[in-house]
Amino acid sequence: MESDKAKLLPFYLVIDVSASMSGSKLEQANQIMPKVVDALADAPILSDKVRFGVIDFGSDAQVRLPLCDLLDDEVTLPALNVRGATSYAAAFRLLRAELESNVKQLKADGFQVHRPAVFFISDGEPTDRDEEWRAAFRDLTENFPIYPNLVPCGVDDANPRTLATLIHPASGPKAMRMYLMEQGQNPADAIAMIAEILISSMLASGQSMAQGNSGLILPAQQDLPSGISAYSSDDFV
């Protein structure tokens, strides 16, 4: 008899909590997790498909919600708080370690694992030295078999040119995209819109996973909330 071996999509939110995120931006950031839970509560069979985890980063990076089934009774959602600078390097290093250990764990538990998806939200420039965070990014995306599908999202003072270099894969049939707040948009609202994109991407990806695609489906251009634009890696040179 055919086994009922499940395929899971690990889905991560990596979010900037540097000092500049305080105030209404942080409030909206704290709304993301409850919104994701509510969306799953409307489509609860997606718990057979998707696992969700949260890493935040300021001067350092921390796992705030270890990869889990968000509808599990045991799950407690953490409150995000601001702390210090903007270390992309710390975020990438911790993310790499988490991907490695989480995927190993899921496989040991008998699951097939889709390529992990990461929404990376930032409102500013990295405060690390350039070569430091770029080296950490290379470790995450090159010669690392479980490299993630990485979707950078920028609000407020995030530098589009910097963020565009984080789109991964940057080209090819499974190229990812970047989401940017449009000029003049309220950054807190933009975070709420990015949460919408994250959720619709998670729902679409979970629902279509059995069809053997890359495991991450991003919303079509015409379905994006107004105030956010999508870019591919070659839109910024």
Partner 1 sequence: MSGHVVGLGEVGPLGELLGEGGQAKVYRAPAAALPDVPGPLVYKQYKAGHAPPHGLAAVVARRLRMDEPTRRRLDRTAAWPVRAVEEAGQVRGVLVPLIPDDYFEDRVKPSGARARTLREVQHLFIDPARAARLGMPAPTAAERVLVCRDLASAVHLLHRNDLVIGDLNPKNAVFRLTDRPCVMLVDCDSIRIKGAAAVVRQLNAPDWEPPERVLSQASDRYKFGLFVLRCLSPGPFASIARDPSRLDAVLPGEGPRLLRDALGPTPERRPTAQEWGRYFDSVLTEAVAARRAAAPATSGGGTSGWRRDPKTRRWVPVT
- Residues within the interface to partner 1 (CB under 8 A): 1-4, 6, 34-35, 37-38, 41-45, 47-48, 71, 73, 207-211
Q: Tell me how far apart the alpha carbons of residues 138 and 148 are, in angstroms, rounded to a whole number.
A: 12
CB of 143 to partner 1, least distance (A): 32
CB of 95 to partner 1, least distance (A): 26
Q: Which is nearer to partner 1, 81 or 208 (CB)?
A: 208
Dig out the tokens for 36 from the structure. Answer: 């994701």
Burial of 37 (0-12, 13-18, 19+ CB in 10 A): middle
Measured from the CB of residue 1, what is the shortest distance to partner 1 in angstroms? 5
Strand (E) or helix (H) holding 29: helix 24-42
Identify whether 219 is preceded by a cis peptide bond (ω within 30 of 0): no
Residue whose token pair is 């796992």:
63
Instruction: For partner 1, give the closer residue by CB, 53 or 219.
Output: 219
Q: Is residue 193 within 8 Å of 225, Cβ to Cβ?
A: yes
Which two tokens mark 235?
């839109």
Nearer to partner 1 by Cβ, of 170 and 192: the residue is 192
User: Judged by CB, which is closer to partner 1: 149, or 200?
Assistant: 200
What minimum distance in Å lies between the beta carbon of 35 and partner 1? 7
